[in-house]
Amino acid sequence: MNKKIPFSPPDISDKEIENVIEVLKSGWITTGPKVKEFEEKLKIYCGVKNVILLNSATAGLFLCLKVVGVGEGDEVITTPYTFAATSNVILHCGAKPVFVDIGDDFNISLTTIEKAITKRTKAIISVDFGGFPADYDEILSLCKKYGIKYISDSAHSFGAIYKGRKAGLIPDFTVFSFHAVKNLTTAEGGAIVFNSDDEEILRKLKLLALHGQSKDAFTKYNTSNSWYYEIEEIGYKFNMTDIQAAIGLAQFERYEKEILPRRKAIFNIYNEILNKENFILPPFKTTEKETSYHLYALRIKNIGEEIRNELIKRMAEKGISLNVHYIPVVMHPAYKKLGYNITDYPVSYRTYISEVSLPVYSKMKVEDAEYVAKELLNTLIELKVL
Ligand SMILES: *Cc1c(COP(=O)(O)O)cnc(C)c1O
């Protein structure tokens, strides 16, 4: 029997389970004290002034675009090398996604962003692919030059390092995801973090996240004779529950000590075994940046789409789950219908057809990572790629 190596199972310890039980027994299960506590911890961790927890990163990206005022007729620049959430929210605002191809670190290419800026551009959303930070300072200064806002899709990069600080500090808004496959999970969840003194932005985000209601349920519950509230804006329903925050608080406690170092150890094993001529290893550390070790995105030289797909199939037969990050957004039917064409993004296409993501998760054993890397090499020999 082969070993079964999943791609990215969640790492839930007794601590998460105890925390959830405590909340379930507490009498308060939706947004309340646990969400507040988690927000305060994230503020300190990211070194930012404001955090708002939500039910997903998608909701967070959407709300950021809303408070920036993105609407009909506007353009938002982003990368095609991402999950569709990044660009779907632009379309939900009635605006047009303008895709800019990536560079060789999988992230939006700085050299081509400026050419894509027009009078209609309202914002740029970069993606920290695989947990490796985008060029925050450079993108922010471009945004300042043209009077547009900078939103970072940091769904992958909670805990990543940029110039000695945690991701979250530099862009106008940074959005993390706590979805089940992400580094730190609340099952479903997300956060917007930002370092502005403008209290109005936080107020507006909180309002929009909960139907535009002037008081949330917990405030009403805790204030006497406080049945009265007003709907100040036509808002949405994006709040995080205390049950989710309870999972997040346990994950957070284990994150720096346990979860992140273990992911890093898996990366190191892959880097050692796969440090070969035929591979391009994922970016993970430079003098200015360090990844959050979210995805081990390996590029294989001279492979091509067909053999890459065969590789994934054969590895699956051996019990090893690989993945591809990403099918460029513009290759999906819904985006093709809007007129986008992958031939306009040659680096994204080249990257896509040569990429496989290897399993990385905090409970993964060192032997399992060695097994994956060795089976990968064997299979590539079978396929005459090596
Ligand atoms: C997971 C992911 C999202 C969406 O996160 P949710 O919390 O599931 O909404 C957005 N962008 C990228 C790059 C992602 O990987």
Query: Closest ligand 1 atom, CA of 127?
Result: 13
**Mutation choice for ligand 1 from 58, 81, 184, CB with most ligand atoms inside 8 A:** 58
In this prediction, residue 228 carries a pLDDT of: 87
Q: With a 6 A CB cut-off, is 20 part of the ligand 1 pocket?
A: no
Q: How far, in Å, from the CA of 10 to the mean position of ligand 1?
A: 16
For residues 25, 26, 31, 32, the Cα torsion angle rounded to the nearest 10 degrees is: -160
Q: With a 6 A CB cut-off, is 83 part of the ligand 1 pocket?
A: yes
In this prediction, residue 259 carries a pLDDT of: 98
Q: With a 6 A CB cut-off, is 82 part of the ligand 1 pocket?
A: yes
Residue 337: C-alpha distances to residues 260, 325, 340 (Å): 40, 22, 7
In this prediction, residue 214 carries a pLDDT of: 84
Q: How far, in Å, from the CA of 58 to the mean position of ligand 1?
A: 6
Q: With a 6 A CB cut-off, is 299 part of the ligand 1 pocket?
A: no
Query: Closest ligand 1 atom, CA of 181?
Result: 1
CB–CB of 385/278 below 8 Å? yes
- Over residues 147-185, the pLDDT tens digits come to 999 999 999 999 999 999 999 999 999 999 999 999 999
Q: How far, in Å, from the CA of 173 to the mean position of ligand 1?
A: 15
Q: Low-confidence residues of the chain, pLDDT below 50?
A: none
User: What whole-number distance in Å separates Cα of residue 150 and Cα of residue 196?
Assistant: 13
In this prediction, residue 66 carries a pLDDT of: 98
In this prediction, residue 176 carries a pLDDT of: 99
Q: With a 6 A CB cut-off, is 190 part of the ligand 1 pocket?
A: yes
Q: With a 6 A CB cut-off, is 186 part of the ligand 1 pocket?
A: no
Q: With a 6 A CB cut-off, is 168 part of the ligand 1 pocket?
A: no
Strand blocks (E) in the chain: 50-54, 75-78, 96-99, 121-127, 149-153, 161-162, 165-166, 173-177, 190-194, 279-280, 289-290, 296-300, 355-358
In this prediction, residue 1 carries a pLDDT of: 59
In this prediction, residue 318 carries a pLDDT of: 96
- Over residues 290-325, the pLDDT tens digits come to 999 999 999 999 999 999 999 999 999 999 999 999
